[in-house]
């Protein structure tokens, strides 16, 4: 975002607000931006990986990066019903979209990796969702942009519609998007990974104040 855009946002804050991740306009924005997204570079995380369950993976943006390095990788995205319905036209024999974790795991068979980037904090019960992901017995779990604190707490978060999804998309008029976010208890987050050990952790450079982790099965 350039200087002029930043100034405009401060002076002319949008009045219209849309609510939550099921909103059709938000879903359509993420969908179109994903179609136009052209990633580049290597992704060491998917080296030697054949199957990935991508929790909160939108319309498959992470798959677009992974397949450049692993063309035969099979990728199952778990998303909201609205996103799954919209993104299904992008499905192939290597990329599928599901509403439930169990459905995605059954399609993959063996899950090499559970991947989630900036999504777990927006579900109703993050800890229970983490436990459900561990139950599919992936070899590893990789988490990015996880907000952790001493105690769990909820807050209302607001973003610009055009900031959602990868890359950029010109909009005729800007809107705000509002949704609940959970700051997850760090202790509860780690303890939810039963039978897994922390292999890597540290601050996530993609979002200030968040953490990234990799867990490996014991």
Reference 141, options 210, 192, 181; nearest CA is: 192
Distance CA 208, CA 148 (A): 12
For the chain, the structural domain boundaries read 14-217
Residue pLDDT, tens place only, 96-121: 999 999 999 999 999 999 999 999 99
Distance CA 60, CA 115 (A): 12
pLDDT at residue 92 above 80? yes
Q: Are strands 148-149 and 176-185 parallel, antiparallel or unpaired?
A: parallel
Give the predicted TM-score (pTM) of the model: 0.92
Residue pLDDT, tens place only, 42-79: 999 999 999 999 999 999 999 999 999 999 999 999 99
Most confidently modeled range among 8-22, 171-185, 191-205: 191-205
Instruction: Give the pLDDT of residue 18.
Output: 84
Q: Say if CB 176 and CB 160 are below 8 A apart.
A: yes
Q: Comparing 3 with 205, which gets the higher pLDDT? A: 205
Average pLDDT, the chain: 92
CATH fold, domain 14-217, is: Rossmann fold (3.40.50)
Instruction: Give the pLDDT of residue 1.
Output: 53
């Amino acid at each position: 975002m350039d200087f002029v855009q930043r100034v405009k946002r401060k002076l002319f804050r949008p009045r219209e607000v849309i609510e939550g991740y099921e909103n059709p306009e938000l879903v359509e924005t993420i969908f179109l931006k994903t179609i136009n997204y052209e990633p580049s570079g290597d992704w060491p995380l998917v080296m030697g990986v054949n199957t990935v369950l991508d929790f909160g993976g939108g319309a498959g943006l992470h798959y677009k990066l992974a397949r450049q390095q692993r063309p035969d990788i099979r990728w199952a995205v778990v998303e909201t019903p609205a996103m799954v319905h919209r993104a299904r036209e992008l499905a192939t024999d290597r990329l599928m979209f599901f509403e439930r974790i169990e459905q995605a795991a059954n399609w993959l068979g063996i899950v090499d990796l559970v991947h989630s980037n900036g999504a777990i904090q927006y579900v109703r019960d993050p800890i229970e969702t983490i436990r459900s992901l561990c139950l599919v017995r992936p070899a590893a779990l990789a988490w990015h942009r996880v907000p952790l604190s001493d105690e769990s707490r909820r807050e209302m978060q607001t973003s610009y519609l055009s900031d959602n999804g990868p890359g950029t998309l010109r909009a005729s008029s800007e809107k705000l998007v509002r949704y609940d976010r959970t700051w997850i208890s760090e202790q509860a987050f780690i303890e939810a990974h039963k039978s897994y050990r922390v292999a890597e952790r540290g601050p996530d450079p993609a979002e200030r104040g968040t953490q990234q982790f990799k867990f490996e099965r014991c």
